[in-house]
Amino acid sequence: MKKDILTTGNQHFNDVRNINRDLIEKALEMRCNAYLAHVKAKLLTMTIYDVNSSKTALKREVAARTIIENQIKHKSAQLEELNTQLEKRVVEEVEKRRENELILAQQSKMAAMGEMLGAIAHQWRQPLNALGLYIQDIEEAYDFGELNKEYIHKAVTNSMNQIEFMSNTIDDFRNFFKSSKEKTDFNVIDSINEVLSIVTASLIKDKIELSIKFSDFNNFKIHSFANEFKHVILNIITNARDAINDARIIDSKMEYGRILITIDLLEDKHIKITIEDNGTGVPEKIIEQIFDPYFTSKHASVGTGIGLYMSKVIIEKNMRGKLYVNNIDHGARFIIEIPKAST
């Protein structure tokens, strides 16, 4: 009986122990599975999060790129618009510039014509006077019965001489103002002399003494546009003349004007032509501007402001030389440097 109770007690104790053991193991297994499930879930979440965040990053990047692309597109459009406007403005400016040059050339021509008309008028005054005398004398000769064949012949010959002189004058001037088509070899002394033949009369009238100095005549040949060169010389001489006349207004005691032209050969095979006068000189504050187009110190009725600009263009662009100015005691000095002809 006692043994039975002990056996039953032991049996019960063992049963409880086994149940406990199973329970603990079950709990631990659940814990293990829970942990593994948690690890798996965590892994899955992390993967989803990674995928999501990379998706978001991608979306953000795409958005940023779209914005940049739009900005670029917008900027490109603006640039294109600006370009179009710029092109239009360039075309407009070029057109304007061309028109200005045309006007300049026209004005230059008009100024030259004015100069020519003045010169012609001056040259013609003397022969016109002579012609007038011859014609008036015919009537007188008739009254005095001197009108014979010999008289008429003499009167016709004299008149025709005057008329021929006048006709030559016109030809001379026309040739002078014709622009050169081609470069030719010419001597600068010859060209200066041709200019002088036109202006001497007006210089004498204004009591201006002009002298020219050079060493060896044969050394001063250049290969260029002859008439254009003459225009430059004429322009500078007439400017000198005007400056001298202006100086006379300021200083009434001043009697004789002087223009001195010196021609030298420089060592670097350039010919240097110096034209000095005893006029007013160039005021220092405008000396930088006198070669600009439309710049003039003269009264509007006298100057157009293009003479020196055209001169500078002719010497520096067409003849590859230099034209500059500086003041000397009582006057101005214009200097032209142009390359000598190669032979």
Partner 1 sequence: MIQYNYNDSINILRDIHWVGFYDEQADLHCNPYLMVDGLDVILFDPGSIPHFSIVMRKIIDLIHPESINHIVASHQDPDICGNLPVMEDLINNPELRIITESGCVRLIQHYGINSKYFKVDKNNNKLILKSGRVLEFIPTPYLHSPFAIMTYDIKTKTLFSSDIFGTVSKDWELFKEINSTFKAMKLWHQAIMPSNVILKKCMEKLQDMDIERILPQHGSIIEGSAEVKTAITFLKDLPCGIDLD
Which residues here bind partner 1, judged by CB under 8 A? 18, 21, 24-26, 28-29, 31-32, 35-36, 39
In Å, what is the CA distance from 9 to each residue of 1, 134, 291, 323?
12, 181, 136, 139
Q: How far is the CB of 38 from partner 1 (least distance, A)?
A: 9
Cβ 259 vs Cβ 275: under 8 Å: yes
Q: How far is the CB of 32 from partner 1 (least distance, A)?
A: 5
Query: For residue 338, what is the enclosing H or E element?
Result: strand 331-339
| Strands laid side by side in the 322-328 sheet | 208-214, 257-265, 270-277, 331-339, 322-328
Q: How far is the CB of 78 from partner 1 (least distance, A)?
A: 58
In Å, what is the CA distance from 106 to each residue of 101, 113, 170?
8, 10, 21
Q: How far is the CB of 12 from partner 1 (least distance, A)?
A: 17
Pick 33 or 148: Cβ nearer partner 1 = 33
Pick 39 or 204: Cβ nearer partner 1 = 39
Pick 36 or 58: Cβ nearer partner 1 = 36
DSSP string across 257-279: EEEEEEEEE-TTSEEEEEEEE-S
Q: How far is the CB of 47 from partner 1 (least distance, A)?
A: 15
Pick 35 or 49: Cβ nearer partner 1 = 35
Q: Closest by alpha carbon to 257, among 268, 265, 267, 245?
A: 245
Q: How far is the CB of 52 from partner 1 (least distance, A)?
A: 23
Residues in the chain: 343
Pick 26 or 55: Cβ nearer partner 1 = 26
| Pair of tokens at residue 287 | 């000396």
Pick 21 or 98: Cβ nearer partner 1 = 21
